[in-house]
Amino acid sequence: MIFINDPKRRQNMAIFATTLTKGTRKVDDVMDAVRNLRAEELNESMLISMQEFSPNSDETAEIQEYEESNGDISLLGPAELYIHHLVQVPRYKQRVNALLFQMRFGDQTAEIKKMNDILLETSYSIHNSKNLARLLGIVLKVGNELNAGTSKGGAQGVHISSLTKLTTTKSNTKKTLLEYIVEKVEQKDPSLLGIKKDLPLLAEAAKVNLKSLTADINKLRTGIKSMVATVKMANDAGNDHVFVEKLSPFLGRVSETIDSIDERNQEANLAFTELCVYLGEDPNATSPDSMFKELSMFVNLVDSTVTKVREAEERKRKKSRTRNETKIEKEIIQILHVINGRRVFFCIISFIYRSGCVYEQILANKSMKTLTFFS
């Protein structure tokens, strides 16, 4: 007997019904677990498929009509037989939805809590970072000096979105403005350049969308309200004690959890608003993910520029040492004489003072076995 008009849907439903009977498990066992809300005997993938292959009203009506007319159940195909089992479970759709909600609730709330904490801690860390504040002050000062006498001069603050432009402004020597600032700060107070350590969660915060986070919380709250309404309906009807008894305690716990998460979310919103005011940004026109992304890019640029500047300085030092060593080597060779087959090293105190320990390495490279010093 065929009651499902869509051939593809019928085939997929039949395949899914077959997966329910793997091993010693029977379809009746699965339906009994759904009926009694025993989530431990089910899994998320199975419940999602049950949602997908939930019979529509026409399919349900046809199966019920067939049963009421004493139709032979053995003549039903796998898909129709699956629907036959489903309609025996009261509030089947609500039960599957409730089981899925319970199964996902822990992971979903844990993730939301984590995201709220990241936003909150990042807002606080930016607000409290003295190094970042001082560095932004230096950027502002340099910018005002460069723009002195123009309409852009005399600025009171720096827009976060403009910070990455420090790498596009270059001098005649091809040095970027950020490189110039980093070099000067490196000479005066290199500790200011360690702002990345002050903001350990900034990169993660840049991935969090506050609106989506709030929407996820509202979605959970809506799901809870829907379940509460269904439980009340079942309780009023007095015909589904299992549904009421199993879900009532859960709903009591999760309502408190959602209230706590919502409170934390509001705290994160407030902290970000205060951060915007502190930075001179419009909280109504700025989102955490966009601001934190811009700031994260700036912090990374500072970090990479520090590395670049320090490596360049190290190359200069090495080059200078090489020149000095070459000069000293020439001076040593000039005063190195061989007398009666012995190597004799004549030196003066001032030369020793200038050359430091470099001559020791040079002489070692010359394979000198004996050094004789004369006053």
Q: Tens digits of per-residue pLDDT, 247-303?
A: 999 999 998 999 999 999 999 999 999 999 999 999 999 999 999 999 999 999 999
What does the angle CA 49 – CA 52 – CA 58 come to, to the nearest 5 degrees?
A: 135
Q: Report d(CA 123, CA 47) in Å as an integer.
A: 39
Angle of helix 130-146 versus helix 177-188 axis, rounded to 10: 130
Q: Report d(CA 34, CA 92) in Å as an integer.
A: 8
Q: Report d(CA 297, CA 264) in Å as an integer.
A: 27
Going by C-alpha positions, the residue among 300, 367, 355, 349 that lies closest to residue 328 is 355
- Helix extents (H) in the chain: 7-19, 27-35, 44-52, 57-68, 78-86, 92-128, 130-146, 177-188, 195-198, 202-205, 210-237, 241-279, 288-334, 349-355, 358-365
Domains and CATH numbers, the chain: 7-89 (1.20.58), 335-375 (no CATH)
Q: Report d(CA 329, CA 81) in Å as an integer.
A: 96
pTM greater than 0.85: no
Q: 250 with 102: CB under 8 angstroms?
A: yes
Check pLDDT > 50 for residue 63.
yes
Check pLDDT > 80 for residue 72.
yes
337 strand-pairing partners? 344
Q: Report d(CA 228, CA 109) in Å as an integer.
A: 18
Q: 281 with 160: CB under 8 angstroms?
A: yes
The whole-number average pLDDT for the span 132-145 is: 91
Contacts with 157 (C-beta within 8 Å, 6 or more apart), sequence order: 140, 279, 280
Check pLDDT > 60 for residue 202.
yes
Q: 62-76, 304-318, 328-342 — which is least confidently predicted? A: 328-342
Structure tokens, 109:
């709330």
Check pLDDT > 80 for residue 126.
yes
The pLDDT mean for the chain works out to 85
Structure tokens, 160:
């976060």
Q: Report d(CA 289, CA 260) in Å as an integer.
A: 23
pLDDT (0 to 100) of residue 332? 62
pLDDT (0 to 100) of residue 228? 94
